[in-house]
C-alpha cells in the first residue's frame, strides 16, 4: 500500500476487521496511516465531555513528548472546531484557516498541518477523533486524495467500538439475568432455586463424606399485620431490614435465602469443625437475639419476631432428599408457631405437618368446586397508549361460611388435594359463558379472556382435546382464550410440556408465560414453546419508577419480548409514575390496581371495546 494508491477500496488495510478489539484496530490504523501519510503525530483520542478533556488513547509521536493517557483541554484543541464544523477536517497549511491559526498562535504550538476526523458510535454520539499534526505544511493534494480513506477508517473504528459496547452490554445483561435467576430482587439474597442447588450439593457431600448438614426455616410472626398497617411498601422495608440482620447473624459460609414472601431459610455446612444440630441451634439463638432491637417502619418503631424450625443430618445418619429435609424444618417451624411464636424448635420424628386446616377446608373446597360455588372475578389488561381495555384475566375466588378464603390458601390446597383440574374446568366454563355474554353486549368477539392453567395439565396428553371440546361446546372459539402457564408447568417434563403446548396452540389457544423473569429457565421457554404473550412479574414493577437498576432490567425484558414478536404485559402497575416510566421504556400493555382491581363481570367497564372497522389486536 502506497501514498499513490488511487482507489479507496485499495487503500483499506486488509487486516482491519470488525472482529478486532477497538484498541487493536486503533493501533493498526495508526501504524498504517503513519506510513501512508507521513505526519509526525497521529492519535486516536476520546472526548471527555464532562471534564472538557481530549484524552490520547493511542498515538504515534515522533517527538516523544506525548504519552498514552495524556490529555489536554478540549477547548484548546483543533478538534473542537473540526467536530463543530467550524473548521475543515484537512488543513495542509493551518495559516490558511483562521481558527486553527489563532489557536496555534495563542497556545504557542508549532503546527504547520492538521488532519482530524470524528469517530462516532452507531447512534451518532461523538466518541473522539482520529487526528494528526505536523510542524511542516503538507501538500494539499496528498491530503485531499486520502480524505475518503480517513473517513472510512474513522467509520470502521466507530463500528468496531459500537460492536464492542454491544457485546459488553450483552454480557452485562446476561450476568444480570443470571443473577436475577438465583437471587431475590428485594433483599439481594439467594432465592429458592439457588438455595435448593446448594442444599443438594451439601447433601451429596453428606452422602459421600458424612459431613453434617442443617437447615433452618424462618417465618416472620404476624407479618400480615405489618402489611395491613403500613402497606406493601412498609412490609418490603421490614423484609429488607430483617434480611440484613439475619445476614449478620449467620456465619460467613452459611447460605441465607429468601424463599418467598416472609419466609427465609438458612443452610449450615461444617465451619471450623462445628456444624450439625449444635451449630444450627447456636445460629438460631443469634437470629432470635438479632431481632431484639425494634425496626423503623413508616416512621414508627415496631418489634417483630420470627419462628424458627431446625432440621439436621448428623454424621452416621442416613441421608434424605432436599425436599424431605426442608419439610422437616417446616414441620418444626409450624410446631414453634403453634407453641406461641418467636421461638425455635428442632424437628423430631414424632412431629407431623399441621394439616388441621387442610382437613377443615379440603372437603368444603371439593364441594364448592363440584357445586359451582367458586366465584370468578376479572381484571382488565389495558393498552398503555389509549388506556382502553384490550382483555381480561379470569381469577377464582372462594367464600366459605361467609368468610373469604384467599387464593394463596385454597389454590395450594386444591393442588395438594388434586382438585386443580376440576377447578380449571369450572373456570374455563365460567370464562366461556361470560365471553358469550360480552359478545352480545359489545357486539363483537374480539375480547379475549385469560385463564390460568395448572402445571399438571401440561403433562396430560388428553388435556388439549378435552379443553378444545369444552370451549367449542360452549360456543366459543379457542382463539378467544389465552392460557396462562407458569414455569413450574415446564420444569418437571419439558419435552411433554412442549408437545402439549404445541397442540394447544395448533387448536387456536393463545399461550402466555406468567411471572416472566422470575425463573431461571425463562429464556429457554421462549425458545421451546409457541408463546404469544409474556407477563412480566409484578416484582419487577414495584420500584421501576425509583430504582435505575430495575428500570434497566425492565427495559431488557421489554426489548427481548418485543424483538421476539411477543405481546408483553407488565403486571402489578399501581402508581401513575410506574405507568409513565413503562411508557418511556416502550411497554404497550399493563395490568394492575392502577386501572382496576379484580371484580365481578357486571362491575367492569368495557365500554371502550366497541366494534371498530379493523380487528383489534389479540389480548392476553
Task: Decide: 460 and 489 in contact? Cβ < 8 Å.
Answer: no
**Which CATH number characterizes residue 479's domain?**
3.20.20.450
* Claim to verify: residue 159 and residue 233 sit in the same structural domain: no
Main-chain dihedrals φ then ψ at residue 274, nearest 5 degrees: -110, 140
* Claim to verify: residue 30 and residue 167 sit in the same structural domain: yes
* Claim to verify: residue 339 and residue 382 sit in the same structural domain: no
Question: Each residue of 348-406: pLDDT tens digit?
Answer: 887 765 454 566 788 899 999 999 999 999 999 999 998 889 899 999 999 999 999 98
* Claim to verify: residue 546 and residue 581 sit in the same structural domain: yes
Q: Which of 20-29, 200-209, 265-274, 603-612 has the lowest mean pLDDT?
A: 603-612
* Claim to verify: residue 28 and residue 71 sit in the same structural domain: yes
Residue 78 has pLDDT above 80, yes or no: yes
**Mean pLDDT for the stretch of residues 405-428:** 89
In the chain, what is the straight-line distance between the N-terminal and C-terminal CA atoms, in Å? 61
Residues 439 and 431: their CA atoms lie apart, in Å, by 12
Domain membership of residue 580 (yes or no) is yes
- Model pLDDT, residue 271: 58
* Claim to verify: residue 140 and residue 196 sit in the same structural domain: no
Question: Each residue of 6-39: pLDDT tens digit?
Answer: 444 444 454 656 568 899 999 999 999 998 898 9
Residue 189 has pLDDT above 90, yes or no: yes
* Claim to verify: residue 120 and residue 247 sit in the same structural domain: no
- Model pLDDT, residue 275: 62
* Claim to verify: residue 301 and residue 330 sit in the same structural domain: yes
User: pLDDT band at residue 618, thresholds of 50, 70 and 90?
Assistant: very low
Domain membership of residue 65 (yes or no) is yes
- Model pLDDT, residue 10: 42
**Which CATH number characterizes residue 234's domain?**
3.30.70.270
Residues 232 and 263: their CA atoms lie apart, in Å, by 16
* Claim to verify: residue 89 and residue 206 sit in the same structural domain: no
Residue 216 has pLDDT above 70, yes or no: yes
Domain membership of residue 117 (yes or no) is yes
Counting residues of the chain whose pLDDT is more than 90, the rounded percentage is 52
**Mean pLDDT for the stretch of residues 529-549:** 89
Domain membership of residue 367 (yes or no) is no
* Claim to verify: residue 587 and residue 558 sit in the same structural domain: yes
Domain membership of residue 599 (yes or no) is no
**Which CATH number characterizes residue 88's domain?**
3.30.450.40
Question: Each residue of 300-312: pLDDT tens digit?
Answer: 999 888 999 999 9
* Claim to verify: residue 522 and residue 579 sit in the same structural domain: yes
The mean of the pLDDT values for the chain is: 86
The domain tally of the chain equals 3
> Pairing state of beta strands 53-61 and 71-73?
antiparallel
**Mean pLDDT for the stretch of residues 37-50:** 92
Burial call 524-551: b when 16+ CB within 10 Å, e when fewer: ebbebbebbbbbbbbbbbbbbbeeeebb
Question: Each residue of 107-140: pLDDT tens digit?
Answer: 888 899 999 999 999 889 999 999 999 999 999 9
* Claim to verify: residue 151 and residue 239 sit in the same structural domain: no
Domain membership of residue 352 (yes or no) is no
**Mean pLDDT for the stretch of residues 82-102:** 94
Domain membership of residue 404 (yes or no) is no
- Model pLDDT, residue 1: 37
> Pairing state of beta strands 41-48 and 53-61?
antiparallel
The residue among 31, 29, 28, 40 whose CA lies nearest residue 64 is 40
Domain membership of residue 179 (yes or no) is no
Give the domain extent around 206: 192-346
Residue 463 has pLDDT above 90, yes or no: yes
CB neighbours (10 Å) of residue 138?
Answer: 20
Cell of 66: 506525548
Q: Determine what percent of the chain falls in helix, strand and coil, rounding each to the nearest 5.
A: 45, 20, 35
- Model pLDDT, residue 517: 64
Amino acid at each position: 500500500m502506497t501514498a499513490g494508491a488511487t482507489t479507496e477500496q485499495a487503500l483499506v488495510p486488509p487486516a482491519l476487521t470488525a472482529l478486532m478489539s477497538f484498541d487493536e484496530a486503533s493501533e493498526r490504523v495508526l501504524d498504517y496511516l503513519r506510513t501512508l501519510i507521513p505526519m509526525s503525530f497521529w492519535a486516536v483520542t476520546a472526548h471527555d465531555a464532562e471534564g472538557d478533556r481530549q484524552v490520547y488513547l493511542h498515538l504515534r509521536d515522533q517527538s516523544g513528548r506525548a504519552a498514552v493517557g495524556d490529555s489536554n483541554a478540549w477547548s484548546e484543541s483543533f478538534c473542537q472546531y473540526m467536530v463543530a464544523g467550524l473548521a475543515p477536517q484537512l488543513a495542509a497549511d493551518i495559516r490558511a484557516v483562521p481558527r486553527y491559526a489563532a489557536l496555534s498562535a495563542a497556545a504557542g504550538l508549532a503546527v504547520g498541518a492538521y488532519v482530524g476526523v470524528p469517530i462516532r458510535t452507531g447512534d451518532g454520539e461523538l466518541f473522539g477523533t482520529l487526528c494528526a499534526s505536523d510542524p511542516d505544511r503538507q501538500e494539499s493534494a496528498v491530503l485531499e486524495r486520502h480524505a475518503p480513506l480517513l473517513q472510512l477508517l474513522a467509520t470502521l473504528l466507530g463500528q468496531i467500538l459500537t460492536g464492542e459496547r454491544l457485546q459488553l452490554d450483552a454480557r452485562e445483561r446476561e450476568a444480570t439475568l443470571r443473577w436475577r435467576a438465583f437471587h431475590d430482587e428485594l433483599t439481594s439474597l439467594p432465592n429458592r432455586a439457588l438455595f435448593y442447588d446448594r442444599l443438594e450439593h451439601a447433601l451429596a457431600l453428606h452422602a459421600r463424606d458424612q459431613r453434617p448438614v442443617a437447615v433452618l426455616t424462618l417465618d416472620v410472626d404476624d407479618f400480615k399485620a405489618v402489611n395491613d398497617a403500613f402497606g406493601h411498601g412498609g412490609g418490603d422495608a421490614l423484609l429488607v431490614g430483617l434480611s440484613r440482620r439475619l445476614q449478620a447473624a449467620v456465619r460467613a459460609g452459611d447460605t441465607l435465602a429468601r424463599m418467598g414472601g416472609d419466609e427465609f431459610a438458612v443452610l449450615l455446612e461444617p465451619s471450623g469443625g462445628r456444624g450439625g444440630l449444635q451449630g444450627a441451634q447456636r445460629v438460631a439463638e443469634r437470629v432470635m437475639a438479632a431481632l431484639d432491637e425494634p425496626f423503623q417502619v413508616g416512621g414508627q418503631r415496631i418489634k417483630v419476631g420470627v419462628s424458627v424450625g431446625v432440621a439436621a443430618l448428623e454424621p452416621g445418619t442416613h441421608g434424605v432428599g432436599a425436599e424431605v429435609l426442608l419439610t422437616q424444618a417446616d414441620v418444626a417451624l409450624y410446631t414453634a408457631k403453634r407453641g406461641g411464636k418467636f421461638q425455635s424448635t428442632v424437628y423430631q420424628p414424632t412431629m407431623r405437618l399441621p394439616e388441621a386446616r387442610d382437613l377443615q377446608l379440603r372437603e368444603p373446597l371439593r364441594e364448592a368446586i363440584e357445586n359451582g360455588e367458586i366465584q370468578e372475578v376479572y381484571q382488565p389488561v389495558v393498552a398503555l397508549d389509549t388506556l382502553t381495555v384490550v382483555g381480561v384475566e379470569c381469577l377464582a375466588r372462594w367464600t366459605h361460611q361467609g368468610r373469604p378464603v384467599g387464593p394463596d390458601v385454597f389454590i395450594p390446597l386444591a393442588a395438594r388435594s388434586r382438585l386443580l383440574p376440576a377447578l380449571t374446568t369450572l373456570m374455563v366454563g365460567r370464562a366461556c359463558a361470560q365471553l358469550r355474554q360480552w359478545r352480545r353486549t359489545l357486539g363483537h368477539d374480539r375480547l379475549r379472556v385469560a385463564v390460568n392453567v395448572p402445571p399438571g395439565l401440561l403433562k396430560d396428553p388428553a388435556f388439549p382435546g378435552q379443553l378444545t371440546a369444552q370451549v367449542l361446546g360452549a360456543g366459543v372459539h379457542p382463539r378467544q382464550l389465552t392460557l396462562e402457564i407458569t414455569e413450574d408447568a415446564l420444569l418437571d417434563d419439558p419435552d411433554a410440556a412442549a408437545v402439549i403446548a404445541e397442540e394447544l396452540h395448533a387448536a387456536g389457544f393463545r399461550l402466555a408465560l406468567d411471572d416472566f423473569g422470575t425463573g431461571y429457565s425463562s429464556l429457554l421457554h421462549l425458545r421451546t414453546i409457541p408463546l404469544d404473550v409474556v407477563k412480566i412479574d409484578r416484582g419487577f414493577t414495584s420500584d421501576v419508577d425509583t430504582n435505575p437498576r430495575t428500570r434497566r432490567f425492565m427495559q431488557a425484558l421489554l426489548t427481548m419480548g418485543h424483538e421476539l414478536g411477543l405481546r408483553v404485559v407488565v403486571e402489578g402497575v399501581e402508581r401513575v409514575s410506574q405507568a409513565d416510566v413503562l411508557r418511556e421504556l416502550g411497554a404497550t400493555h399493563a395490568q394492575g390496581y392502577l386501572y382496576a382491581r379484580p371484580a365481578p363481570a357486571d362491575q367492569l367497564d368495557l365500554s371502550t371495546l366497541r366494534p371498530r372497522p379493523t380487528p383489534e389486536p389479540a389480548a392476553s
